[in-house]
Structure 1
């Protein structure tokens, strides 16, 4: 119950050799234009790296076959997704970021590892060495001087393993996609690679999320923090939270489907106790009460000391993303390609989080999402027009749990696992799905029964990635197991 992944001896060097790097251009001529970026897109000017691992497939026995297939599919997908071949620029007249659709190209890298896929360790456990499977910047010698030598917004690296499996590492600027639109992009990339029609035609016009004229923000927004004197491109490059220089412990806390059901039962609520809400409430309580302002040298940290060491009068604010596509009036097109998630929040004093019933914590988390109406979302967007800022809170829960990246069906099968590359931030907690069973991603996965797949999808557990300083991690772990086992 609520097991903790064992600390593993991780490979520090995957012995990756880069064989070829180039720019890939749209396979057809695309229109030269400028893509408007919404106020949600504006504050997400940072790169996101994801890795998608695939086992060997009998129809793709040679590594270069997969690489060429991916490269060809990338060139074709850059036609409907023309902005991915463009470059980010700052409009001097509006001081806003835009994408110049100049067909300057996306990055493509071919590499290999000296290891087999089964030799690199547990794919679920965070390994900073996975960064070797993603290219974050192209060699300046292959960039187009006409585009100002600006780096591509999208780079894809194919790294083959000696077993025949491979990894598809993607680095893209967050301004291009949110998690849901990235999932649709992957579905479309897989369809193009299989010579099939697009799953859905991307909706690329982001004016649909432009601020009102004049902008009007009638709500208070404690979940947002105003920035001052933003006048250069560097000033417009905020991250959600700054990376910390502290030494951090990385742990994966695993909740089985039974654990999640137990949390729902403890919540005793029929309206608020979704899987996400109960898991987020558990995380919030543990994170808030493990953040101590005092110095505790006792290594044997138990539940009572962990709770009492917190500053009970301190306010804790948890943030989490809410998809606004269905909440707006009218709803956004499902194939909208930009960022259409906003930060919901819940706030409470640490004393309250220590004392209130778990059901009340779940309700507070639920209220944050309920607050995200059409009018509230428009207020957030207009607030960004008036003030410029980014999400502000004690902890952000970033959920990859239900995005389904590992459900994308490529010609070479579904991924064995898909995950972001670990980054050094202690105030962002990530939720991941479980790793697939071997038969679900093997070349015979197509024979897996629909009943089996549906059963797993409906009963899946979750992996919770937490990065904290050592003493805070001890407290978090003690609280996590105490609250989970408490009746």
Structure 2
């Protein structure tokens, strides 16, 4: 049972700019609501381990740099469009205690129960609401878990990692190398007049609102599966050799195994949804510290029979072609296309069909760059998944080249999936 021992509002340590931040079309159609993540730290045995006052002071300084987080999500009074109102009101920090030890998180998998224990829950993610909440939970063994709830309109995973890096640097007193975030999202305004040069019919809510064969968050179980460096090497060889990225090789394998575990009919069409970071694809590229959601999704499509019966290289090539389609002009065309749509209706997502899978890569994002003065976390993960069919790939520093594959699937599919994920690798090796 978690016990909240204190709550306080942490405001920026200095005066911050007061203005509104316009949200791009890509921001508004991004995943709606709060992204719940946890960072787990083992105790050093010292009595002054993770002092809450030092955490508050570091957060207050970080909120000067990332001042939009201290604001509120509101609406433009004329258009009703969501926007970030940089008010400097601050972030709520909860401190809590939990009768648990680090051993209880050894095989951590996201769940609604974990989210309720470790990450603050907002009454609503609709305006007006806070941009961020934080909970520091101290375990019986002395370990600490930081649980962040950050509104997705604020930024994507890359932006989140830059904030955590900044926050932790202030805690360590090492602020010499903190890069400045870039908050101007007008770089992603639609063109005038719009120029829609591609088919963007995929950008409809239908893939997230299929009533038949769909799963809600109550019908999902999650597993945190590990792949060693050697297993990844084997998958790469099966997918076309070392030229194939870890993401392509692993996701092609996961996609194939998911179709088998779900028992999909051979003539059914399955689709793999892939969020693509556009920062380096626009011309000129966006600033590397651009804060927002400069991402769009693409998809790879195949008949189940073709995906399952072919080699892993077949699926890996489908993924590569889907990602290669995303260019500067494609991204700009999508932004123009979205200009005429009801963006908030578009981002109200229900459950995905069980023929769909979405794979998100955190492999190139330094998620473990979060040393608050007591070493890097031993675990960083989402606290909860909101539906079936989501896959997250991330590095695990302690695994020496290995990765974590966090998967959310229907309960009647998960056991089979976990079994064949490894069996398929071993069989191909033999």
TM-score w.r.t. the length of structure 2 is 0.87
In the alignment, which residue of structure 2 is the partner of 1:10? Answer: none
1:321 touches 1:398 (CA, 8 Å); kept in 2? yes
Deviation string, structure 1 residues 40-89 (Cα, Å, up to 9, x no partner): 1112331011111112236x6236x6211111111111112111111111
In the alignment, which residue of structure 2 is the partner of 1:257? Answer: 229
Change (3 A) 1:111 1:482: closer
Shift of 1:149: 9.9
- Distance in 2, matches of 1:372 and 1:185, equals 27
Which runs of 5 or more structure 2 residues have no equivalent in the other structure?
none
Shift of 1:469: 2.7
In the alignment, which residue of structure 2 is the partner of 1:163? Answer: 141
Number of matched pairs: 413
1:192 touches 1:198 (CA, 8 Å); kept in 2? no
Given the alignment, which residue of 395, 412, 427 partners 2:357?
A: 395
In the alignment, which residue of structure 2 is the partner of 1:420? Answer: 382
Question: Structure 2 matches for 1:58-207, cutoff 5 A?
Answer: 61-62=47-48, 66-118=51-103, 120-126=104-110, 128-131=112-115, 132-137=117-122, 150-195=128-173, 196-197=175-176, 199-207=178-186
- SS of residue in 2 equivalent to 1:352: helix
Given the alignment, which residue of 207, 210, 218 partners 2:189?
A: 210
1:87 touches 1:101 (CA, 8 Å); kept in 2? yes
1:188 touches 1:198 (CA, 8 Å); kept in 2? no
2:5 touches 2:95 (CA, 8 Å); kept in 1? yes
1:327 touches 1:373 (CA, 8 Å); kept in 2? yes
Change (3 A) 1:374 1:240: farther
Deviation string, structure 1 residues 259-313 (Cα, Å, up to 9, x no partner): 1101111122564x11100011111112233334xxxxxxxxxxxxxxxxx2222
Question: Structure 2 matches for 1:428-447, cutoff 5 A?
Answer: 428-434=390-396, 436=398
Change (3 A) 1:288 1:218: farther
Deviation string, structure 1 residues 291-341 (Cα, Å, up to 9, x no partner): 34xxxxxxxxxxxxxxxxx22222111012222111111111111111122
Given the alignment, which residue of 363, 385, 404 partners 1:463?
A: 404
Change (3 A) 1:89 1:54: same
Which runs of 5 or more structure 1 residues have no equivalent in the other structure?
1-14, 141-147, 228-237, 293-309, 438-455
- Distance in 1, matches of 2:242 and 2:193, equals 41
In the alignment, which residue of structure 2 is the partner of 1:288? Answer: 259
1:269 touches 1:359 (CA, 8 Å); kept in 2? no
Given the alignment, which residue of 43, 46, 52 partners 2:33?
A: 46
Report the RMSD for the aligned CA atoms in angstroms: 2.8
- Which of 83-92 and 400-409 deviates more? 400-409
User: Is 1:342 equivalent to 2:287 in the alignment?
Assistant: no
- Distance in 2, matches of 1:374 and 1:149, equals 31
In the alignment, which residue of structure 1 is the partner of 2:245? Answer: 274
TM-score w.r.t. the length of structure 1 is 0.78
1:430 touches 1:464 (CA, 8 Å); kept in 2? yes
In the alignment, which residue of structure 2 is the partner of 1:143? Answer: none
Asked which structure has the greater CA Rg, the reply is 1
